[in-house]
């Protein structure tokens, strides 16, 4: 069975610092991987997705993630945090097929200090 683990329910960084949000998955076959962001009082929005093409995936708002099969990881990074990045971030994994197979992590809340 597939599963996804997000390390750290809350991450705090200073404005301008590197953002690193961790996601590990368990899957017996190459998965589809996603990062979604949820701003306060809003629904989720797709940041980026990995679907077996390039292992380094670039998304919106300067975020990127690297698929590392050997580490079963798909960590999200951004070189320089902005105050507007404060939100909750969700990693999700699927083995394919329908959206019914999409499993979300518990989320990581990112705070950005001035």
Partner 1 sequence: ETGVTQTPRHLVMGMTNKKSLKCEQHLGHNAMYWYKQSAKKPLELMFVYNFKEQTENNSVPSRFSPECPNSSHLFLHLHTLQPEDSALYLCASSQDERVSNEQYFGPGTRLTVT
Q: Which residue ranges make up the site for partner 1 (CB under 8 A)?
A: 9, 32, 41-46, 49, 51, 90, 94, 96-107
Query: Which positions ≥6 away from 22 have C-beta within 8 Å?
Result: 6, 7, 8, 73, 75, 108
- How many residues does the structure list for the chain? 114
Closer to partner 1 at the Cβ: 70 or 98? 98
Closest separation in Å from C-beta 15 to partner 1: 27
For the bound state, the minimum distance from the C-beta of residue 18 to partner 1, rounded and expressed in Å, comes to: 26
Least distance from C-beta 97 to partner 1, angstroms? 6
Contact residues for 27 (Cβ-Cβ < 8 A; gap 6+): 2, 72, 93, 95
Write the burial class of residue 5 (CB in 10 Å: 0-12 exposed, 13-18 middle, 19+ buried): middle
- Closer residue to partner 1 (CB): 35 or 112: 35
- Nearer to partner 1 by Cβ, of 100 and 114: the residue is 100
């Amino acid at each position: 069975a597939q599963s996804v683990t997000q390390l750290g329910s809350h991450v705090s960084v200073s404005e301008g610092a590197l953002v690193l949000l961790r996601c590990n998955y368990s899957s017996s076959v190459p998965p589809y991987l996603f990062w979604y962001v949820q701003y306060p009082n809003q629904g989720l929005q797709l940041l980026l997705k990995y679907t077996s093409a390039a292992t380094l995936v670039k998304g919106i708002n300067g975020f990127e993630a690297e698929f590392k099969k050997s580490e079963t990881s798909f960590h999200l990074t951004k070189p320089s945090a902005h105050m507007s990045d404060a939100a909750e971030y969700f990693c999700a994994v699927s083995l394919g097929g329908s959206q019914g197979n999409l499993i979300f992590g518990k989320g990581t809340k990112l705070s950005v200090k001035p």
